[in-house]
């Protein structure tokens, strides 16, 4: 069997990166996840992980096919024709990668020129994980190709504090830095509304050019990013103006990026044709961070800070404050502030941190766990496919996580054993009874089991 390409893959992509000046963020987003599926003397098949990277086969093919072929030839001496294929979505990988510190940011002058940009909000310091990787990959793709042809509109949605604005700023910054020929405008719904209201008022008081100026501002651009669109839904004239702007830009192939607190289909009060329009590009959501992501974000904050917190404390914050990243950062800042205020000469202890966060954390109503959520977390913890966990197969590698899932469901939901059995696709509730007992009996004596349960409880955010 031919494996030269696979065996030398790391060198090949490093060669590519160096010789074709692939910048770090693109390298990590587009090149690193590629995988060699098969190879012969004349061909190679390379998989793109759509779950992580989005639908970018055409783009990768266009930009990297020849460079990759050249790199393969340079490293292995083989001249092959590459075909890119889409990898069937594999179970989600829990890896967390951070672009922090990997790239030089040309700050200052850009921020002076574009005062709307929030400092420190770029792809470089956006922590990528399973909860946001698709949104991130799509944002990178659009930033790299802001020609309205990748995903148009790119529609980002999530609950508050999960990174929509951060991504929109990252896209803006990236385009400003790398594609200065594109004219971009970022605006919040609030600013847009203010502009519309002012223009309408001025045009009524005889300023003939007010509306023209407004249109020039928002329509004479290549890329328009509008943040928190939900706030203009019930503002009739603003909404009208926005749709006309949207249509004009969209029809002429300009790029739109929109953020919202919900997907287009759930935007009550929005006409159906606009829901359809909004959903016609790529609607992509961001989920609350899992434990690993939360921890990675805290580590990143820690790198920027002069006060260092122990791992215990970081882990405590990560497991207790992750409804949103804003909350997570708030909790972290609170502990830091606390430690500065107490000016304790010793390191701050977990007790002190818990104390500092008392109000903060008890404010968060406990999340209600569902069996489905527990099963998902167990599957990802043990790297087993959900379908397989729920199947009839009875190997040890499956029985163990299955029993743990039974145990966690019985501890942290109010479901009956009957229902737990149904959720886990077991025929009989005595299977659940047996499974739960097995775990309970082994727990006091089995270290490995204890570790798994501790980790899982952290991931589930329960005590």
Which parts of this chain interact with Mg ion (CB under 5 A)?
164-165
In the bound state with ligand ADP, the residue whose beta carbon lies nearer, of 4 and 285, is: 285
Tell me whether residue 290 or residue 452 sits nearer to ligand ADP (CB atom). Answer: 290
Determine which residue in the list 8, 53, 158, 461 makes contact with ligand ADP, applying CB under 6 A: 158
> Phi/psi at 309 (nearest 5 deg)?
-105, 150
The enclosing H or E element of 15 equals: helix 9-19
Residues contacting residue 404 through CB under 8 Å, at least 6 positions apart = 378, 439, 449, 452, 453, 456
325 prior amide bond cis, ω within 30: no
Q: Tell me how far apart the alpha carbons of residues 322 and 331 are, in angstroms, rounded to a whole number.
A: 10
Q: Given the complex with ligand ADP, which of 168 and 214 has the nearer CB atom?
A: 168
Q: Which is nearer to ligand ADP, 164 or 322 (CB)?
A: 164
Least separation in angstroms between residue 457's CB and ligand ADP is 24
| Structure-block tokens of residue 35 | 């995988």
Nearest Cα neighbor of 389 from 378, 377, 400, 398 is 398
Q: Is the CB of 169 or the CB of 426 nearer to Mg ion?
A: 169
Q: How far is the CB of 193 from Mg ion (least distance, A)?
A: 16
CA dihedral (299, 174, 13, 54) positive or negative:
positive
- Least spacing, CB of residue 160 vs ligand ADP, in Å: 4
Q: What is the DSSP annotation of 16-44?
A: HHHHTT--HHHIIIIITT-EEEEE-SSEE
CA distance 123 to 153: 20
Collapse the DSSP code of 205 into the 3-class scheme (helix H, G, I; strand E, B; otherwise coil) and give the result. coil
Phi and psi at 319, nearest 5°, equal -85, -15
Closer CB to Mg ion, 225 or 371, in the complex: 225
Residue 160 touches ligand ADP, criterion: CB under 6 A: yes
Residue 95: name its binding partner from Mg ion, ligand ADP, none (Cβ under 5 to 8 Å by kind): none
Residue 423 to residue 177: CA distance in whole angstroms: 50
Partner whose binding site includes residue 417, from Mg ion, ligand ADP, none (CB under 5 to 8 Å by kind): none
Interface residue with ligand ADP among 30, 84, 123, 126 (CB under 6 A) is: 126
Tell me if 287 contacts ligand ADP by CB under 6 A. no
Alpha-carbon distance values, 87 to 34, 54, 63, 163 (Å)? 9, 11, 19, 27
β-sheet bridge partners, residue 259: 156
Q: How big is the site for ligand ADP, counted in residues (CB under 6 A)?
A: 17
Crossing angle (nearest 10°) for helices 371-382 and 447-460: 130
Q: Which of residues 297-336 bind ligand ADP (CB under 6 A)?
A: 297, 325-326, 329
The runs of H, that is alpha helices, within 20-159 are: 24-26, 50-53, 57-76, 109-113, 133-144
Residue 63 binding partner per list Mg ion, ligand ADP, none, with a CB distance cut-off of 5 to 8 Å that depends on partner kind: none
Per CB under 6 A, 29 contacts ligand ADP: no
Phi, psi of 37 (to 5 degrees): -95, -45
User: What are 401's two structure tokens?
Assistant: 């996580």
Residue 320 binds which of Mg ion, ligand ADP, none (CB < 5-8 A, kind-dependent): none
Q: Which is nearer to ligand ADP, 125 or 339 (CB)?
A: 125
166 binds ligand ADP (CB under 6 A): yes
Indicate the DSSP class of residue 264.
G
**Burial category of 83 from C-beta neighbours within 10 Å (exposed 0-12, middle 13-18, buried 19 and up):** middle
Rounded Cα distance between 298 and 321, Å, is 11
Binding segment toward ligand ADP, per CB under 6 A, in 79-87, 164-172, 403-411, 425-433:
164-172
Stretch binding ligand ADP (CB under 6 A), from 9-17, 88-96, 160-168, 400-408: 160-168
Q: Does 137 bind ligand ADP (CB under 6 A)?
A: no
Minimum CB distance to Mg ion, residue 261 (Å): 9
Residues numbered 404-463 forming contacts with ligand ADP, rule: CB under 6 A: none
Binding mask 370-409 for ligand ADP (x = CB under 6 A): ----------------------------------------
The verdict on 148 binding ligand ADP (CB under 6 A) reads: no
Q: How far is the CB of 218 from ligand ADP (least distance, A)?
A: 21
Token pair in block for residue 69: 């072929």
54 contributes a contact to ligand ADP by CB under 6 A: no
Instruction: Establish if 161 lies at the interface with ligand ADP (CB under 6 A).
Output: yes
Please say which residue, 117 or 214, places its beta carbon nearer to ligand ADP: 117
- Work out whether 95 is an interface residue with ligand ADP (CB under 6 A): no
Rounded least distance, CB 163 to ligand ADP, Å: 3
The residues, ordered by sequence, that sit 6+ positions from 426 with a Cβ below 8 Å of its Cβ are 432
Least distance CB 139 / ligand ADP (angstroms):
11
Toward Mg ion, which CB reaches closer, 164 or 402? 164
Smaller CB separation from Mg ion, 225 or 314: 225
Where on the chain is the footprint of ligand ADP (CB under 6 A)? 121, 125-127, 132, 158, 160-166, 297, 325-326, 329
């Amino acid at each position: 069997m031919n494996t030269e390409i696979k065996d030398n893959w790391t060198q090949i992509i490093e060669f590519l990166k160096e010789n074709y000046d692939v910048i770090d963020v693109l390298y990590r987003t587009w090149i690193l996840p590629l995988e060699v599926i098969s190879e012969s003397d004349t061909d190679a098949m390379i998989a793109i992980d759509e779950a992580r990277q989005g639908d970018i086969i055409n783009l990768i093919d266009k930009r990297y096919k020849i460079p990759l072929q050249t790199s393969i030839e340079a490293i292995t001496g083989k001249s092959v024709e590459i075909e890119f294929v889409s990898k069937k979505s594999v179970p989600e990988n829990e890896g967390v990668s951070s672009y922090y510190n990997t790239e030089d940011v040309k700050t200052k002058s850009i921020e002076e020129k574009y005062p709307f940009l929030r400092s420190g909000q770029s792809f470089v310091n956006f922590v990528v994980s399973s909860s946001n990787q698709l949104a991130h990959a799509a944002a990178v793709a659009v930033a790299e190709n802001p020609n309205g042809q990748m995903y148009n509109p790119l529609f980002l949605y999530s609950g508050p504090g999960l990174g929509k604005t951060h991504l929109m700023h990252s896209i803006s910054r990236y385009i400003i830095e790398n594609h200065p020929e594109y004219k971009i405008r970022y605006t919040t719904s609030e600013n847009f509304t203010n502009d519309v209201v002012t223009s309408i008022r001025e045009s009524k008081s005889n300023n003939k050019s007010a509306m023209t100026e407004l249109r020039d501002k928002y329509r004479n651009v290549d890329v328009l990013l509008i943040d928190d669109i939900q706030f203009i839904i019930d503002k009739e004239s603003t909404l009208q103006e926005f749709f006309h702007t949207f249509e004009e830009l969209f029809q002429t192939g300009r790029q739109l990026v929109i953020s919202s607190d919900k997907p287009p289909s759930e935007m009550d009060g929005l006409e159906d044709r606009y829901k359809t329009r909004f959903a016609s590009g790529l609607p992509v959501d961001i989920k609350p961070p899992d434990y690993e992501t939360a921890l990675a974000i805290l580590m990143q904050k820690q790198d920027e800070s002069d006060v260092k917190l122990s791992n215990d404390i970081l882990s405590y914050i990560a497991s207790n404050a992750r409804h949103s990243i804003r909350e997570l950062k708030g909790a972290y800042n609170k502990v830091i502030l606390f430690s500065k205020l107490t000016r304790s000469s010793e390191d701050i202890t977990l007790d002190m941190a818990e104390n500092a966060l008392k109000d903060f954390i008890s404010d968060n109503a406990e999340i209600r766990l569902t069996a489905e959520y527990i099963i998902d977390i167990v599957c990802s913890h043990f790297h087993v496919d959900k379908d397989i966990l729920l199947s009839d197969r009875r190997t040890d590698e499956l029985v163990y996580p299955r029993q743990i899932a039974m145990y966690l469901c019985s501890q942290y939901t109010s479901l009956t054993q009957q229902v737990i059995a149904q959720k886990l696709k077991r025929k009989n509730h005595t299977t659940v009874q047996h499974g739960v007992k097995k775990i309970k009996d082994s727990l006091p004596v089995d270290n490995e089991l204890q570790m798994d349960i501790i980790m899982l409880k952290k991931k589930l955010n329960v005590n």
